[in-house]
Amino acid sequence: MRWNLSPDDLPTAWFNVAPHLPAPLQPPLHPGTREPVGPDDLAPLFPMALIAQEMATEPTIDIPGPVLDILRLWRPTPLVRATRLEEALGTPARIYYKDESVSPAGSHKPNTAVPQAYYNKAEGTTRLTTETGAGQWGSALAFASTVFDLECMVYMVRASFEQKPYRRVLMETWGAQVTASPVDDPGHPGSLGTAISDAVRDAAGRDDSHYSLGSVLNHVLLHQTVIGLEAKEQLRLAGEHLPDVVIGSCGGGSNLGGISLPFVPDEGVRLVAVEPASCPTLTAGSFDYDFGDTAGLTPLLPMYTLGHEFVPPPIHAGGLRYHGDSPIISSLVKEGRMEAVAYPQSKVFEAAIQFARSQGSVPAPETSHAIRAVIDEALAAKEEGADRVILFNYSGHGLLDLSAYDDFLHGRLTD
Ligand SMILES: *Cc1c(COP(=O)(O)O)cnc(C)c1O
């Protein structure tokens, strides 16, 4: 039921999807000139190594040794077959998941936090700023910063800062400083867009600081491909050839990209993005150039977007409340290589409870979006009497999201 790789089997190079995309990515644009941004435009915010990865065209990029040493604290992660869920559903489908919840921060996010902290340290930066929604990304970067001895300043969406104190405590435990965003408007509940503006403004104004983003950008998805690379190897050990379908929840696209990008060249493998019906970027947004933040400080990115001023309702899957999406994921959806579905949160929590009561583990609300789609795929396979191999990303656990379960179990959760 579980396939583990040894620490020596950790991939030593990331998978770059750029040469495999059905259409070349459009470049990010400078908001003033609408010309493609160059490395110098990005240098106040990011180290050169990450800027190079953002634009890289080579098929693989080596993972630095010090990064591998840290990733080996929890990687390779297990591939698990959800046999008890299969039995509960009575499906002929075989359901496998990659368990990214075993990382120190409890999600996939340290896979990119660690290399981002490493490259910043290597180029002389001593302080990182970032945004966080419910706190998953902030805690991942706080962990990575302490490992490489960097200061870490986290702007946390105010609604979460006030309602969900435990992620803040986790960040502070790893030595980060955490403040509520927007900093200049204490009555505003905040959003990922406002928090990105605060973090970018901070980093751009100080020589010792860089900014770090937990999703969306090409280098972030690149770092997450260790998930899909390991999964391919583990599926082989499980006696499977290729999955029929690969599923991930999609906020900015990093956990989905991590598990699915290594399968882009495998024609016939369906790739599915799952998003909330209340923040339906891929299923109801338009493909356009838009800012990554609310204040309009970032370059313009080619992506599906609901508009940078869109403030999503305060659903429990805070990590999926983003107006835009990764340009890579957006391009795959636009070109028809990836599908997208949206679910209301009540259907998502029904799936989460079914998973917890069959498999035991309690998934994060974000992860539960993927589980909803997995269950529906498995039920469709049952209807059709079809043999089907489903792979999904168990992006994180929900042990710091129990207030959401409390709301669902006691009838307080609305769509
Ligand atoms: C942040 C987060 C997500 C959503 O972000 P992506 O960049 O789309 O992966 C999903 N699941 C968990 C557990 C998260 O913490």
| Conformation bin of residue 179: beta by default, left when phi > 0, alpha when psi is -120 to 50 | beta
Q: Residue 283 and residue 327: Cα distance in Å, rounded?
A: 15
Q: Is the pLDDT of residue 8 over 90?
A: yes
Quick one: CA dihedral 246, 251, 253, 254, positive or negative? negative
Return the higher-pLDDT residue of 59 and 189. Answer: 59
Best substitution site from 108, 321, 400 to test ligand 1's pocket, by max atoms within 8 Å of Cβ?
A: 108
**pLDDT tens digit sequence for 62-92:** 999 999 999 999 999 999 999 999 999 999 9
Q: Residue 240 and residue 250: Cα distance in Å, rounded?
A: 26
Q: Residue 183 and residue 158: Cα distance in Å, rounded?
A: 9
Cα 312 → chain centroid: 18
Question: Which residue has the least CA distance to atom 13 on ligand 1?
Answer: 396
Report the separation in Å between the CA atom of 18 and the middle of ligand 1, taken as the mean of its atom positions. Answer: 22
- pLDDT at res. 361: 98
Taking residue 117's Cβ as centre, other Cβ atoms within 10 Å add up to 29
Tokens of residue 33, six digits: 């000139």
Please confirm whether the linkage preceding 19 is cis (ω < 30° from 0): no
Return the higher-pLDDT residue of 192 and 110. Answer: 110
Is the beta carbon of 109 within 6 A of some atom in ligand 1? yes
- pLDDT at res. 355: 98
Radius of gyration from C-alpha coordinates of the chain: 20
45-65+109-218 matches 74-107+220-409 in fold: yes
**pLDDT tens digit sequence for 190-242:** 888 889 999 999 999 999 999 999 999 999 999 999 999 999 999 999 999 99
Instruction: Tell me the backbone φ, ψ of residue 88, rounded to 5 degrees.
Output: -60, -35
H/E stretch holding 304 reads: strand 300-305
Q: Residue 261 and residue 222: Cα distance in Å, rounded?
A: 9
- pLDDT at res. 293: 86
Are 27 and 42 in contact, with CB atoms under 8 Å apart? Answer: no
Report the separation in Å between the CA atom of 214 and the middle of ligand 1, taken as the mean of its atom positions. Answer: 9
> Domain coordinates of the chain in residue numbers?
45-65+109-218, 74-107+220-409
CATH number of 45-65+109-218: 3.40.50.1100
**pLDDT tens digit sequence for 278-333:** 999 999 999 999 999 888 888 999 999 999 999 888 788 888 988 999 999 999 99
Question: Which residue has the least CA distance to atom 3 on ligand 1?
Answer: 319
Q: Tell whether domain 74-107+220-409 is in CATH 3.30.70.141.
A: no
User: Which range, of 226-230, 260-264, 395-399, 401-405, averages the lowest pLDDT?
Assistant: 401-405
CA geometry: angle at 33 spanning 29 and 39, to 5°? 50
- pLDDT at res. 258: 98
Q: Largest alpha-carbon pair distance within the chain?
A: 61
**Paired sense of beta strands 245-249 and 209-211, if any:** unpaired
Assessment of whether the complete model's pTM goes beyond 0.75: yes
User: From the alpha carbon of 220, which atom of ligand 1 is closest?
Assistant: 7
Q: Residue 79 and residue 100: Cα distance in Å, rounded?
A: 9
Length of the chain, please? 415
Strand, helix or coil for residue 277: coil
Q: Residue 394 and residue 8: Cα distance in Å, rounded?
A: 23
pLDDT more than 70, % of the chain: 100
